Structure 1
Amino acid sequence: MMRTSTLRQALRESFRRKRLSLSTEQQTQFAKEITEQAHSTVFQADTKKIGLYLSFDGELDTNILIQSCWHKGVEVYIPVLHPFSSGHLLFQRYTDKTQMIRNKYGINEPKLDVTATLPCNQLDILFTPLVAFDKLGNRLGMGGGFYDRTLSLLLQNDSSKTRIVGLAHNLQLSETLPVEAWDIPLPAVLTPSRLYEF
């Protein structure tokens, strides 16, 4: 019997290959569709601050969604590796003027400016990346645990009103996923074709 960690890694590689196989045209089309879905099914009239991420490694392209938020006056915050709390994220305001750097994983992030960061429980919506999800809302991430820690903090905070929504391509849906004790299931996942709520 395959160990859970081995199975998860095999699934991670399989789903990453699937999303990397999408053409540039498909990525652009899905980015437009998910932007429309987000505004029609997730955003509320009082949505003012959202957490997002810059797409990487075939993830669903968030650029059109970010641009549409800026156009509508919605503030966008993206993750920055915490400088002294290893494995944790900060969320920093992102604009077209934000100075960017590459972090130790080769991912673009804002140059840290603590005056522009926001506690994640003050976000109206936090959109999270994922490698795969299943029909129970279980999420398979890249394995670093960054978002599991963030989600755990949010869910432990009774005063948090932040809505948590995974973002995924339709092809990232798995019938079932192996889970570990530390995994945090998602209450919702948005794809280009529909909003799943669990």
Structure 2
Amino acid sequence: MIIRGDNGGLDLILMPGLGFDKLGNRLGRGKGYYDTYLERCWQHPKGRPYTIALAFKEQICDHVPVVETDKQIDEVLYDSS
């Protein structure tokens, strides 16, 4: 079954990563593929999709090194217990 929508834009992107900080910075694999993709998504007329990462508490860091082209994600969900 194919459901056709309004043909455009994304509402939500689940982001992968090796590590995250509480500011929304993401440690990937260093190639910038997701940052490039997010930039394209943000330019869509529908607007910027909400970005969420699902993580283990061991993946939460005090600081993730970033460069100018890195994109922050909106929210990191993890079990803090």
TM (normalized to structure 1)?
0.34
SS at match of 1:147: helix
* Identity across matched positions, percent: 35
Q: Which structure carries more relative contact order (alpha carbon 8 Å, separation 6+)?
A: 2
Aligned length: 75
Choose the corresponding residue for 2:41, options 154, 162, 170: 154
Q: Structure 1 CA distance, aligned partners of 2:21 and 2:65?
A: 10
Equivalent in 10, 25, 29 of residue 138 of structure 1: 25
Unmatched 5+ stretches in structure 1: 1-74, 76-117
Point out where structure 2 has 5 or more consecutive residues left out of the alignment.
Answer: none
Supply the RMSD in Å over aligned alpha carbons.
2.3
Hey, which of these two has a bigger chunk of helix by percent?
1
Question: 1:126 & 1:161 partners in 2: Cα distance?
Answer: 10
**Divergent runs of 4+, >6 A:** none
Aligned to 1:166: 53
- The letter for the 2-side match of 1:171 is E
Distance in 2 between the 1:185 and 1:158 partners? 20
Larger Cα-atom Rg:
1
Distance 2:56 2:40 in 1: 26
> Which residue matches 1:178?
65
